[in-house]
Amino acid sequence: MLKSEYKRVVIKLSGEALAGSQGFGLEHKILDSISRQVKEVVDMGIETAIIVGGGNIWRGVSGSARGMDRATADYMGMLATVMNALALQDALEANDVNTRVLSAIEMRQVAEPYIRRRAMRHLEKGRVVIFAAGTGNPYFSTDTTAALRAAEIEAEIILMAKKVDGVYDCDPMKYPNAKKYTTLDYIDVVNKGLGVIDSTAATLCMDNKIPLIVFSILEEGNIKKVIMGEKIGTYIGR
């Protein structure tokens, strides 16, 4: 068996990545690709947890900007992450990956309630755990959820799987001369306003010494490459 750099990881999937080229909703070939990549990691014996965003269905901040009550808009965003989690669970199990969805908002008919020790037992038994519904509280992003859950389950690293292949000094989709960073300090992310993660998530990672790697999920095999220590994407740490 190949030796990995890590034993327990958190993968943060953006909702936008799940939408693929459609820009909205779910693209099934992306779900299948992600599921195959996760299976590669699980087959290596890596304990794997996943946090999914909901931006492909609903963004609480944009709803609030249109005049909706912020808390209500954020709760709607949490429900969007549950939909994504169930879709990802279905795709993973179609690829023979044993999976559990744990929701921070109780909905027993579709997901288990989030309990830290239960999540850790699932991981120890080789199951992929998908954390849904954010932290269960408004005003917190799924990036912050990733940092919080990673600290709670004692993960060694957060893999930020996005549509772009790293962190840039400006939007590479708009500016062809955008500069890509290979490494960053946590505080650089905040001070430079790079927007790859919010300040709350960056601070949580910094305080708990949890590094992050930002990379593209759209290239097949990238999750395994990161797990094996290949230098792709942008490393954020100290």
CATH of the domain at 134: 3.40.1160.10
Q: Give the per-residue pLDDT at 59.
A: 77
Q: Is residue 37 part of a domain?
A: yes
**2 domain residue, yes or no:** no
- What is the C-alpha separation between 18 and 187, in angstroms, rounded? 29
Residue 1 in any domain: the answer is: no
pLDDT over 70 (residue 202)? yes
Give the Cα-Cα-Cα angle 163, 181, 186 (nearest 5 degrees): 95
Tell me the three state secondary structure of residue 57. coil
- The total number of structural domains that make up the chain: 1
What's residue 2's pLDDT? 53
Question: Higher pLDDT residue, 20 or 207?
Answer: 207
pLDDT of residue 3: 59
State the chain's mean pLDDT as an integer. 92
- Residue 15 is given by DSSP the state H
Judge whether residue 139 has pLDDT over 50: yes
What domain range is 122 assigned to? 8-237
CB under 8 Å to 3, separation ≥6 — which residues? none
1 pLDDT above the threshold of 50: no
Residue-wise pLDDT tens digits, 72-131: 999 999 999 999 999 999 999 999 999 999 999 999 999 999 999 999 999 999 999 999
Which pLDDT score, from 0 to 100, does residue 170 have? 87
- Does any domain span residue 215? yes
pLDDT score, position 120: 97
41 lies in some domain: yes
Q: Give the confidence band of 218 by pLDDT, cuts at 50, 70, 90.
A: confident
Nearest by Cα to 81 from 11, 14, 160, 155: 14
Cα–Cα distance for residue pair 180/166, rounded to 1 Å? 7
The verdict on pTM exceeding 0.95 is: no
pLDDT score, position 190? 87
DSSP 96-158: T--EEEEESS--TTTSEEP-HHHHHHHHHTT-EEEEESTTSSTT--HHHHHHHHHHHTT-SEE
Report yes or no: 14 and 53 within 8 Å, Cβ to Cβ: yes
Give the range among 77-81, 102-106, 192-196, 219-223 with minimum mean pLDDT: 192-196
Quick check: is 86 in a domain? yes
**Is residue 99 a part of any domain in this protein?**
yes
Q: Domain for residue 3, yes or no?
A: no
Beta bridge partners of 9: 48, 157
What percentage of residues in the chain have a pLDDT greater than 90? Answer: 76
pLDDT value of position 174: 87
